[in-house]
Amino acid sequence: MCGRYTLFTPPEELETRFDATPTRPLSARYNCAPGQELPVVTNDAPEEFRFLKWGLVPSWADSASVGNNRINARAETVREKRSFADAYEARRCLVPSNGFYEWVDRGGRKQPYRVAFEDDRPFAMAGLWERWTASTKQTGLGDFGSGGPSREQEPLETFTVVTTEPNDLVSELHHRMAVVLAPEDEQTWLHGDPDEAAALLDTYPDDELTAYPVSTRVNSPANDGPDLIERVEA
């Protein structure tokens, strides 16, 4: 799975790399976590970094809380599973990152590892996004007890990260990994037809990737600083 990642590339470099301008200031993030609003590039506004909440909420969901269990979408079933099928067809996105964390069981103790390119360069993980609107009942004196007419709240925009089988490096840490897109495939992921997009859901080779142990401080989303990516003894 992909449950935490980093994005501390300098904003100017990130804007150049993705040819996108942020809708709010970008800041260094060392512990991006589910439930947070994070920058993504969506297929309907590829010139912008928009800030969406991590944890996809399908448009048909009764509650936004379903997003808590939809931080990842399996590549093997993303076209068929109800939660993700519509988004796969029409709402794909790039999730910028420069590394992600995985946890390994070391005799009952979970040891986090960071996986990244050796030069820490930014890359895009394949993502899907959705727009969800809750309907609420407006209660007034004239309609007390009936619930009143429905009114719509501001839409909630969310995303998920697509995962696939791990490469040899990541398989030592976990049985899944994020779909990492080659730079030349990013536009096809955003704008290609479903079959073209499906062809990109392969495992990224581990030739240029590295993995190393980091502090267990990354376990808490409340911690977010450069000390989290420092190598420690496993």
102 a catalytic residue: yes
Per-residue pLDDT for 154 more than 90?
A: no
47 a catalytic residue: no
Per-residue pLDDT for 145 more than 90?
A: no
Torsion, Cα 14 19 24 30, to 10 degrees, reads -20
Does 142 fall in a domain?
no
Please name the amino acid found at residue 84: F
Q: What percent of the chain has pLDDT over 90?
A: 88
Does 196 fall in a domain?
yes
Per-residue pLDDT for 139 more than 50?
A: no
Which one is catalytic: 2, 32, 93, 186? 2
Task: Identify the pLDDT of residue 144.
Answer: 39
Per-residue pLDDT for 149 more than 60?
A: no
* Nearest one of 135, 128, 204 to 165, comparing CA atoms: 204
Does 58 fall in a domain?
yes
Per DSSP bridges, beta strands 37-42 and 156-164 are unpaired
CA 129 to CA 158: how far, in whole Å?
Answer: 6
DSSP 6: E
Give DSSP secondary structure letters for 148-181: --EEE---EEEEEEEEE---HHHHTT-S-EE-EE
Domain that holds residue 93: 4-133+152-228
Question: Residues 70, 75, 78, 81: is their CA dihedral positive or negative?
Answer: negative
Does 147 fall in a domain?
no
- From residue 23, give the alpha-carbon distance in Å to each of 26, 60, 64, 116, 124: 9, 27, 23, 26, 18
Which one is catalytic: 47, 89, 93, 102? 102
Give DSSP secondary structure letters for 69-136: G-SEEETTTTTT-HHHHHHHHH-EEEEEESEEEEEEEETTEEEEEEEEETT---EEEEEEEEEE--EE
Measured at the CA of 156, the angle between CA 154 and CA 161, to 5 degrees, comes to 170
Does 47 fall in a domain?
yes
Long-range contacts of the stretch 221-224 (C-beta < 8 A, 24+):
221/4, 221/31, 221/33, 221/35, 221/36, 223/31, 224/29, 224/30, 224/31
Does 111 fall in a domain?
yes
Question: Are the C-beta atoms of residues 178 and 59 closer than 8 Å to each other?
Answer: no
Measured at the CA of 123, the angle between CA 127 and CA 84, to 5 degrees, comes to 5
Q: What is the pLDDT of residues 208-219, one digit of tens each?
A: 999 999 999 999
Per-residue pLDDT for 152 more than 90?
A: no
Number of domain units in the chain: 1
More confident: 163 or 105? 163
Q: What is the pLDDT of residues 44-69, one digit of tens each?
A: 999 999 999 999 999 999 999 999 99
Per-residue pLDDT for 137 more than 60?
A: no
Q: What is the pLDDT of residues 167-187, one digit of tens each?
A: 999 999 999 999 999 999 999
Does 128 fall in a domain?
yes
Task: Identify the pLDDT of residue 151.
Answer: 56
Mean pLDDT of the chain: 93
Q: What is the pLDDT of residues 2-37, one digit of tens each?
A: 999 999 999 999 999 999 999 999 999 999 999 999
- 96 forms beta bridges with 124
Q: What is the pLDDT of residues 80-122, one digit of tens each?
A: 999 999 999 999 999 999 999 999 998 888 999 999 999 999 9
Residue 185 belongs to a domain with what CATH number?
3.90.1680.10
Task: Identify the pLDDT of residue 234.
Answer: 80
Does 27 fall in a domain?
yes
